Amino acid sequence: MHLVPLLLYAAATAAYVAHFAWRDPRVGRLATAALGAGVLAHTFLIGMQTVEAGHAPLVGTSAAISAFVWLLGLSYLYVELSSDERAMGAFVAVLLVALDVIPALDPTVTPRPPLLRSPLFTVHVVSMLFAYASFALAFVLGITYVLLFNEIKAKHLGFFYARLPSLHVLDVMNGRAITVGWIFLTAGVTIGGIWATQIHSSPDPRAQAMSVADPKILVALLSWGIYSFAFFARRAIGWSGRRAAWLSAIGFVIVLLNFVPVGFFLTKSHNF
């Protein structure tokens, strides 16, 4: 069962890439349908895991990645259906497949330790994941912005020119994604901070490790700094377009590093 979403995401990726290359609207609809089916299957999977464990499967990096993939798929579908723009799908779906491999290989639901029984934990994780999903979309929008930007600047109108929406649209959507992500990131970090002070007296070594010096928390604050800059620089000094695109690309690379390698190997506070 845990492989079904991955297979459907892979099918969606193939269809989105084929649609991007050959622009057959039927293949495009097929891609959306496959992604929709993938997200639906993923919803069932997470639902089943919730029933089995008696709590939302958010404990541990693997489960968090699964939830992130699900949220990203859902957010992307929302963006696609509301903007009627399918070109981004090829990029997003690749990301979904690459990340969903991890929970598909390690589908066990970690039992929730007593430390995490606070509702603040759930709110913290869900906010962070939602922020990361927004940043993933901003990342894809940024990458495509730069690809199109370079074609137009080089005066060689080709592959991306024929396939991507306008620079203006990409930039506006990037700005929105950063805004939504920044709000959730700010909320997630704040709630995480409050919750960390609440559990400070706990004998659990992970609670003791909750400090700015912990790599996971440090890098999260670094990414908050970058996105805060992107958020305010767009408004205050007109950092839109290519600069905003690069900021969102760098920001998401850091988020990914924090999410996967740091989450798995380095952190002492977030290794559940």
User: Rounded to the nearest whole angstrom, what is the least distance from the CB of residue 12 to other proteins in the complex?
Assistant: 21
Q: Does 239 bind other proteins (CB under 8 A)?
A: yes
Q: Taking CB under 8 A as the rule, does residue 266 contact other proteins?
A: no
Report if residue 148 touches other proteins, rule: CB under 8 A: yes
* Residues 1-30, interacting with other proteins (CB under 8 A): 23-25
Nearer to other proteins, 246 or 264 (CB): 246
Question: What is the Cβ-side half-sphere exposure of residue 177, based on CA atoms within 13 angstroms?
Answer: 30
The span of 81-89, 117-125, 161-169, 255-263 binding other proteins (CB under 8 A) equals 161-169
Site string for other proteins, 176-215 (x = CB under 8 A): ----------------------------------------
Nearer to other proteins, 166 or 211 (CB): 166
Shortest gap between Cβ of 142 and other proteins (angstroms)? 15
Is residue 53 a contact point for other proteins (CB under 8 A)? Answer: no
Where along the sequence are the contacts to other proteins (CB under 8 A)? 23-25, 148, 152-153, 155, 157, 161-162, 166-169, 172, 237-243
